[in-house]
C-alpha cells in the first residue's frame, strides 16, 4: 500500500508541474489554440532559466506525455554533454605539443569530470525508466545526481587558470550547461508542486484545457488569477519529504538498515585513553611498520571492490603517511578510520602555486570521487603553505559523506566540499582564504574552525560557497554549534588582520551560521564582497543566534541577513538541508537534526 501511495504522488507531481505551467501561459497570453503537445512543452519549460532553449529542445518530440517529454529532454542533455566532452578533447588536440603542463592537467581533469557527468546521467535515465510514475522515493537522489552533473561541468571551468582557455571551454560547453540547468529547473518545479499542492491524479486528466475547475484544491480562489509558475509556489528547501515519525529508542528511523550503525561507534582508538585495538574488523589494515596488509593507503583503496554494495573498511594505524590518496568514483562506500586525528595523519604538499601541472581539484592530499565515504579519527593536511595558494587537504566529490572526529589543516582552500550532501561533526578545520568552500549541501556541526595567519597583507575568509543556480539547487554551507577562533600565531594580530565569515564565490552563494561562538577575530562587517563581482547582491548569507564578540551584528554588511526567528532558518537544519537523513543516522554519529 505504501508503495502504491508513493507512485500516485509521483504521478501528481508531473501532472501538477505541467498543469500549473499551462495555466500560467493561458492567463498571460490568452492563447488557448496551442496543440496539446505544445501546451505540455511550454508547461514543462515555463520555470526553466532558459525557456527558449527548453522549448526548442522539446518541440521535435511528437508527444504530450510528460514522461516522454522529460525523458527526451534528459537524452538531449546527455547528447550535449557528450559533445562538450568531445570539444575538450579536440581543444587539447589542437594545442599540440606546445600545451603547458597546467593546461594539459586541467583539460585532463575536464575529460574526467565529463566522464563522471555522463555516468551519472546514465544512472539517472536508468532509474527514471520509461514511466516516471515509478520514480517514487528515488526523486531526491535523482535530483542530487542532476546537481552533480551540473557541478562537474562547472568544476572544469573553475579549475582553468588561463583566461583565454577558460573562455574557449566556456563557449564550447555552454549548451550542455544550459540544458543541465534546465533539467534541474524542471525537477525543481515538480518538487515545488509536490510541497504545495495536494490533488488527485484524476483532477488533472484534462489539464491541456488550460484551466482548473472550481473544485480543484490547487486552483486560485474565484475571481483571482492562478499563481504564475515563474514565481515558485513553494520553497523546495522547506520541510523534508521523508518524515521521521517512526523512530526507535536511539532516534533512528525504523526503516533504516543497521549495517553501518556500529561502524562509527566501534571504530577508532580502542579503549579509553587511546590504547587497545579497534572494536570492529577492518577489511584492510594499513601500517607504516608492515604489521598490516599494506604500507600505503592508496594500496588499500585500490584493493577495495568496485561498486561495492557493502562497506570496505580501512584501518589506518598511527603514523605520518606522506602520500596523495585518490578514491576513484567506482570505489564507493569506503570507511577509513585511524588511531586519532593527531596520530594518523595523511599529508602532502601539492598546490597550484608551487606544483607544475596542478589544478585546485588535483591539489588535494585526499580526493574522494565516490559516494558513501566515511572517515573517523584521521588528520588530513596540505603543507604547501600560504605561498602555494590553492592547496586542498581533502576534496569530497561524492554524495552522502560522513566525517567525524577528524582534522583538516591547510591555508587556502583547505576543505573542498565539492559535491553532494556532506556532514561533518566534532572536527577541526584550519586555514586562511576560502578554507571551507565548494558546491555541495554541507553541514558542519560542533566543530572548531581555526583562522590562521597567512602572508603579510592577506585577508582571511572562512567560507566561499559556489551555488550559481539559486533555489533550484540545494547548495550551501551551514555552520552550526561551532567555534570560530584565531590560531596562536594570528591571535596577537587578530584585530589588525582582516578576517571574515566568507565571501560569495558564485552568484547565489549560500552560507548560514547558526548557534556558533564567533571570536573577535571576525570583522564587525562579518562578510566580504568578491572582488570584481556583484554576487553580494544575490547571495544568501544568514546568521542566527550566535554569540561572542564577533557575533555582534549592528555593523554587518547590508546584504547579509540576521534571522530573528527559528522559522527563518529551519530549512538549513540537517533534517531539511541534507534530507532524507537516514544515511547520517545509519553512521551512528552524534547529530543534531534541528536547531
Q: What is the pLDDT of residue 132?
A: 72
The domains located in the chain, with CATH, are 34-199 (1.20.140.40), 339-587 (2.160.20.10)
Q: What is the mean pLDDT of residues 35-61?
A: 92
Do the Cβ atoms of 318 and 338 come closer than 8 Å?
yes
Do the Cβ atoms of 557 and 423 come closer than 8 Å?
no
Q: For 39-48, 109-118, 341-350, which range has the lowest pLDDT when averaged over its residues?
A: 39-48
Which of the two residues, 545 and 591, has the higher pLDDT score?
Answer: 545
Residues whose CB falls within 8 Å of the CB of residue 148, separated by 6 or more in sequence, listed in order: 116, 117, 120, 399, 419, 420
Q: Is the pLDDT of residue 211 over 90?
A: no
The model's pLDDT over 411-467, given as tens digits with 9 standing for 90+, comes to 999 999 999 999 999 999 999 999 999 999 999 999 999 999 999 999 999 999 999
Instruction: Return the SS3 of 501.
Output: strand
Q: What is the pLDDT of residue 188?
A: 82
SS (H, E, C) 441-452: EEEEECCEEEEC
Residue 50: band (very low, low, confident or very high) from pLDDT cuts 50, 70, 90: very high
Q: Is the pLDDT of residue 142 over 90?
A: no
Residue 153 CA neighbour count, 13 Å, CB half? 32
Question: How far is residue 115's CA from residue 119's CA, in Å, rounded to a whole number?
Answer: 6
Mean of per-residue pLDDT scores for the chain: 84
Q: What is the pLDDT of residue 276?
A: 53
> Model's pTM, two decimal places?
0.84
SS (H, E, C) 46-78: CCCCCHHHHHHHHCCCCCCCHHHHHHHHHHHHH
Q: What is the pLDDT of residue 264?
A: 67
Q: For 97-101, 139-143, 145-149, which range has the lowest pLDDT when averaged over its residues?
A: 139-143
Instruction: Record the cell numbers describing residue 363, joined without a space.
Output: 591539489
Residue 265: band (very low, low, confident or very high) from pLDDT cuts 50, 70, 90: low
Q: What is the pLDDT of residue 270?
A: 52
The model's pLDDT over 515-535, given as tens digits with 9 standing for 90+, comes to 999 999 999 999 999 999 999
The model's pLDDT over 114-135, given as tens digits with 9 standing for 90+, comes to 999 999 999 999 988 877 766 7
Any catalytic annotation for residue 434? yes
Q: For 25-34, 126-135, 143-152, which range has the lowest pLDDT when averaged over its residues?
A: 25-34
Any catalytic annotation for residue 248? no
Which of the two residues, 55 and 246, has the higher pLDDT score?
Answer: 55
Q: Is the pLDDT of residue 16 over 70?
A: no
User: Which of the following is catalytic: 50, 413, 465, 487?
Assistant: 413
User: Which of the following is catalytic: 159, 237, 260, 434?
Assistant: 434
Provide, rounded to the nearest whole percent, the portion of the chain with pLDDT above 90: 68
The model's pLDDT over 300-330, given as tens digits with 9 standing for 90+, comes to 999 999 999 999 999 999 999 999 999 999 9
Q: Is the pLDDT of residue 492 over 90?
A: yes
Residue 196: band (very low, low, confident or very high) from pLDDT cuts 50, 70, 90: very low
Residue 10: band (very low, low, confident or very high) from pLDDT cuts 50, 70, 90: very low
Amino acid at each position: 500500500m505504501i508503495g502504491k501511495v508513493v507512485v500516485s504522488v509521483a504521478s501528481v507531481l508531473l501532472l501538477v508541474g505541467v498543469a500549473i505551467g499551462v495555466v500560467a501561459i493561458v492567463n498571460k497570453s490568452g492563447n488557448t489554440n496551442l496543440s496539446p503537445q505544445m501546451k505540455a512543452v511550454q508547461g514543462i519549460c515555463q520555470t526553466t532559466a532558459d525557456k527558449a532553449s527548453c522549448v526548442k529542445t522539446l518541440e521535435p518530440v511528437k508527444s504530450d506525455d510528460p514522461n516522454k517529454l522529460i525523458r527526451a529532454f534528459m537524452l538531449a542533455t546527455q547528447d550535449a554533454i557528450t559533445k562538450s566532452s568531445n570539444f575538450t578533447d579536440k581543444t587539447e588536440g589542437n594545442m599540440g605539443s606546445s600545451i603547458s603542463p597546467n593546461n594539459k592537467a586541467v583539460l585532463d581533469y575536464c575529460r574526467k569530470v565529463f566522464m563522471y557527468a555522463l555516468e551519472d546521467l546514465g544512472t539517472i535515465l536508468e532509474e527514471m525508466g520509461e514511466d516516471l510514475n515509478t520514480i517514487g522515493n528515488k526523486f531526491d537522489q535523482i535530483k542530487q545526481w542532476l546537481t552533480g552533473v551540473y557541478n562537474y561541468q562547472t568544476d572544469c571551468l573553475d579549475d582553468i587558470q588561463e583566461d583565454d582557455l577558460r573562455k574557449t571551454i566556456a563557449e564550447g560547453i555552454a549548451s550542455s550547461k544550459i540544458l543541465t540547468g534546465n533539467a534541474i529547473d524542471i525537477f525543481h518545479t515538480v518538487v515545488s508542486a509536490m510541497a504545495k499542492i495536494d490533488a488527485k491524479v484524476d483532477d488533472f486528466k484534462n489539464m491541456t484545457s488550460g484551466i482548473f475547475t472550481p473544485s480543484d484544491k490547487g486552483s486560485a480562489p474565484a475571481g483571482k488569477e492562478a499563481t504564475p509558475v515563474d514565481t515558485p509556489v513553494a520553497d523546495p528547501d522547506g520541510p523534508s519529504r521523508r518524515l521521521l515519525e517512526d523512530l526507535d529508542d536511539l532516534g533512528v528511523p525504523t526503516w533504516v538498515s543497521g549495517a553501518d550503525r556500529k561502524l562509527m561507534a566501534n571504530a577508532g582508538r580502542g579503549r579509553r585513553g587511546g590504547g587497545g585495538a579497534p572494536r570492529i574488523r577492518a577489511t584492510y589494515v594499513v601500517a607504516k611498520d608492515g604489521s598490516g596488509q599494506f604500507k600505503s593507503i592508496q594500496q588499500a583503496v585500490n584493493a577495495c571492490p568496485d561498486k561495492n554494495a557493502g562497506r570496505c573498511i580501512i584501518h589506518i594505524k598511527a603514523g605520518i603517511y606522506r602520500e596523495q590518496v585518490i578514491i576513484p568514483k567506482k570505489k564507493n562506500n569506503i570507511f577509513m578510520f585511524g588511531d586519532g586525528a593527531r596520530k594518523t595523519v595523511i599529508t602532502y604538499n601539492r598546490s597550484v602555486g608551487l606544483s607544475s601541472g596542478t589544478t585546485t581539484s588535483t591539489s588535494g592530499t585526499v580526493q574522494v570521487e565516490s559516494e558513501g565515504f566515511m572517515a573517523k579519527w584521521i588528520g588530513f593536511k596540505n603543507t604547501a603553505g600560504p605561498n602555494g595558494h590553492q592547496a586542498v587537504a581533502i576534496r569530497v566529490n561524492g554524495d552522502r559523506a560522513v566525517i567525524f572526529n577528524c582534522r583538516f589543516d591547510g591555508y587556502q582552500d583547505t576543505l573542498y566540499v565539492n559535491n553532494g550532501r556532506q556532514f561533518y561533526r566534532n572536527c577541526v578545520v584550519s586555514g586562511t582564504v576560502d578554507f571551507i568552500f565548494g558546491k555541495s549541501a554541507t553541514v558542519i556541526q560542533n566543530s572548531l574552525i581555526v583562522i590562521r595567519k597567512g602572508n603579510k597583507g592577506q585577508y582571511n575568509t572562512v567560507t566561499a560557497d559556489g551555488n550559481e543556480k539559486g533555489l533550484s539547487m540545494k547548495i550551501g554551507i551551514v555552520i552550526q554549534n561551532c567555534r570560530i577562533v584565531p590560531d596562536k600565531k594570528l591571535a596577537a594580530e587578530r584585530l589588525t588582520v582582516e578576517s571574515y565569515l566568507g565571501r560569495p564565490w558564485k552568484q547565489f552563494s549560500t552560507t548560514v551560521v547558526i548557534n556558533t561562538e564567533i571570536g573577535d577575530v571576525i570583522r564587525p562587517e562579518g562578510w566580504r564582497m568578491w572582488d570584481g563581482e556583484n554576487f553580494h547582491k544575490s547571495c544568501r548569507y544568514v546568521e542566527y543566534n550566535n554569540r561572542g564578540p564577533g557575533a555582534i551584528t549592528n555593523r554587518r554588511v547590508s546584504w547579509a541577513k540576521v534571522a530573528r526567528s527559528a522559522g527563518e532558518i529551519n530549512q538549513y537544519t540537517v533534517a531539511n538541508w541534507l534530507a532524507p537523513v537516514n544515511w547520517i543516522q545509519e553512521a551512528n554519529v552524534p547529530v543534531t537534526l534541528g536547531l
